[in-house]
Amino acid sequence: MCEQFETLFKKGVYLDHAATSFPKPDCVVQSINNYIVNNGASSSRGGYGRAIKADYMVYETRKWIGELFNHKKPSDIIFTSGVTESLNGIMRGILKDGDHVITSSIEHNAVWRCLKTLERDRNISITTVKTTKEGITNHKDIEDNIQRNTKLIVFNHASNVIGTIQPIREIGKIARKYSILFLLDTAQTAGILPIDMEADNIDILAFTGHKGLLGPSGTGGLIINWDGDIEEWKSGGTGGNSADPFMPEILPNKFEAGTMNMVGIAGLHASIRYLLDTGVDKICAVEKEVIGYTLEQLGAINGIQIFGTNNVDLMVGAISFTIDGIDSGKAGSWLDKRYHIMVRTGIHCAPILHKIMGTDKTGTIRIGIGYSTTKEEIDYFIYALKELLKEQLN
Ligand code: PMP
């Protein structure tokens, strides 16, 4: 082991932030601990002091999430278990027999599998708009594919495989022009890129708490800025009007049946405050610097094939590549076993994109760069990769 990297070898280098961010800020850990030890009450259920304090924590979290995405009404913010539940809930709640949906070829299975299931079970139709070779959608292609019965445009903001960012403002404009619902999956961008519900013309935003929002897993939600009818995807207790056999129509209660994930929301309460105090612009700039550095270093190695764009302005920190003649899965295991470097290999729940890239059988190696990733960690990763090439190619 090269002496320069001994500390990183001992500590391990986590390059899987596109899957989930790690470590979380200290304030997140403290907030969770404080809630469990000193509060423990359910929200919207009790009238005693601790319960009211818990209510306030939930309210404040909604308010701060609204600030982060520029949406003024806290009650439009719904908590779910993550972006998968959020996307499923909305698509299942609005799509009916005969509806048409436009989506992209770089979607995560959270969108794709849900749509395919609804195509099978409810007879909806799907148009999958292709992206350029770099992984970016031409918004004109969306407009060209609008039909009389197009009900929904659903896109991810950035790919979890190659990090490319979609032109959401233009997509949103088209959706508004034709009065079609625009649902955005921000799994890879919330807390990483500035997002503005109003300026970006987003009708419904789905977010997850455990990636760029730096909160715990099992958290996430929706921001609903749309008046159309959405059927709730679960029924149960909401803490009020309990004699009514049906779910209330008001938000957020309509979509929040059951005891809330209070431990998770305690973590999110701290992480959203942390993001607002730090500033998403700053986080974005820090990450872009490391992404650019990584692309440069990686691109200079012979035998490495990088997918997607090499324009840092058009991507977030998910970088996929293959190594000529070396199995991606084996390379990933080798990096962990030999150098304690954690990357993700496979097809990353995005089968169509991998088919287009020709990597559906072999998968790619994906590094996920986060706010805590340093250039030194990238140097170490590049060093290990060169060792891998020497060892396996000779
Ligand atoms: N969409 C995208 C683009 C993602 O990257 C992910 C997580 N890999 C999801 C949806 C699903 O997120 P979660 O598992 O947090 O619900």
Residue labelled with tokens 């079970």: 121
pLDDT of residue 134: 87
Beta pairing class for 100-104 and 364-368: unpaired
- Spacing, Cα 366 to ligand 1 middle (Å): 15
pLDDT of residue 394: 44
Question: Within 13 Å of residue 267, how many CA atoms lie on the same side as its CB?
Answer: 22
* Alpha carbon distances (Å) from 353 to 159, 204, 234, 366: 9, 24, 32, 14
Best mutation site among 109, 115, 160 for ligand 1 pocket (most ligand atoms within 8 Å of CB)? 160
d(CA 55, CA 47): 10
Residues in the chain: 394
The fold adopted by the segment(s) 1-17+279-393 is Aspartate Aminotransferase, domain 1 (3.90.1150)
Atom index in ligand 1 nearest the CA of residue 349 equals 8
Range list of H helices, 17-108: 26-38, 49-68, 83-94
pLDDT of residue 109: 94
Residue labelled with tokens 């550095």: 293
Question: Within 13 Å of residue 131, how many CA atoms lie on the same side as its CB?
Answer: 27
pLDDT of residue 393: 53
CB of 8 shorter than 6 A to ligand 1: no
Assigned CATH class of 26-278: alpha beta
> What is the secondary structure of 156-208 as a DSSP string?
ESB-TTT-BBP-HHHHHHHHHHTT-EEEEE-TTTTTTS---TTTTT-SEEEEE
* Structure-block tokens of residue 62: 């909604």
Atom index in ligand 1 nearest the CA of residue 217 equals 15
pLDDT of residue 16: 98
User: Could you report the average pLDDT of every consecutive run of 10 residues in the chain (394 residues)?
Assistant: 89 98 98 97 89 97 98 98 98 98 96 97 96 90 97 98 97 97 98 97 98 98 96 93 93 97 98 98 98 97 95 97 95 96 93 88 95 98 96 64
- Spacing, Cα 348 to ligand 1 middle (Å): 10
Beta pairing class for 13-14 and 77-80: unpaired
Angle between helix axes 280-299 and 262-278 (nearest 10 degrees) is 80
d(CA 186, CA 195): 9
Q: What is the ipTM of this complex?
A: 0.98
The domain locations on the chain are 1-17+279-393, 26-278
Of the candidates 176, 175, 172, 225, the one whose C-alpha atom is nearest the C-alpha of residue 200 is 172
d(CA 129, CA 131): 7
Cα dihedral value 129, 80, 194, 298, nearest 10:
-70
CB of 84 shorter than 6 A to ligand 1: yes
- Say which amino acid occupies 256: E
